[in-house]
Structures are given as C-alpha cells and as structure tokens.
Amino acid sequence: MADNTIWIGNDHGGYELKMQIVDYLGKKGYAVNNVGTDSTDIVRYPYFVARVAGAVSKGEAERGILICSTGIGVSILANKYKGVRASLCTSTYMGKMTRAHNNSNILCLGGKITGVFEALDILDAWLTTPYEGGRHDISLGLIKEAENDLFNNKMWTPEGPMK
C-alpha cells in the first residue's frame, strides 16, 4: 500500500522547475521521492516516466508529478500505465478540475512553458482539491472498463449513448 509520499520525475527540461517544486513540497510538509534527473544534461524522459507511473500503477505511490519541457511527452507515456490518470495542466483551474472531476493521480507540467509561480499554484490546487465523486464516478468507471479491455488486447466498445 502506498504512503502519502509524492513521487517526482523529470528530464533535463524539467530539472529547474522540479527543484522549485521539491523545495515547495518540503516546506508544505510533504515527503518527496525524487526519481528524476538532477541536472540539465540531456536525458530521455521515458525512463523517468516509467519510475513514477510504474509506482502509481503498482500502488507503490498515491500521486506523482512528471515534468519535461512541455509536459506533453510525459503525459502521453504516463497514461499508458494501467490505473494512471495523468493530467497535463497549464492553469490553476485545470489543476483543480482534474482532481475534482478526474481524480488525477499524476500531475504533468512543462518546465519550459509554465512559470514557477503558475506551476506552484497549479500544484497547490492539484494537491488540495478533493475528488468530488458522484456523477464523475461514472466516467472513471468507463475509463477503468476501457483499460481492462485494452490491457487484455480487446477493443473497447462502450455500450450506451454515443451521441
């Protein structure tokens, strides 16, 4: 069972923002498992995504943060892991809504496109907004149903309204 430690991974494009986030999380009392690169030397983000998304998928981590230059690459790969709901957020509103409606468990950020202050606001919204449940459980149930089929080499065909 996962504890409440936040796992964070990054490539060279996310290094500087990662350092700001690790400092911020420490000041807020969060434990951090830093599994990203610790320099701006060029590396490939899939290695670091595998560490964070793999931990979330296996239940070793409750939540993670992934950072590359734009956040796009890390979000694409992270969402290929079963049970991962990685969300690329570029605004505080997105950070809030992805927790409230999607119960996002990995926050993806762009180290070269989102400023530090905005990124910290996004992070704070993502960390503090509770999942609303209710009607949103229906969509999350459909995502889980799709994952189960897709991870078992079956094409998922939803039943119900397709309008």
Q: How far apart are CA 146 and CA 65, in angstroms?
A: 24
Task: State the Cα–Cα distance between residues 34 and 22, nearest whole angstrom.
Answer: 8
Distance from C-alpha of 63 to C-alpha of 128, rounded to nearest angstrom = 12
Residues 6+ apart with CB under 8 A from 104: 85, 86, 87, 98, 126
Residue of 12, 68, 89, 108 marked catalytic: 68
136 has catalytic annotation: no
Residue 53: which of 78, 88, 30, 21 has the closest Cα? Answer: 78
Catalytic residue numbers? 68, 101
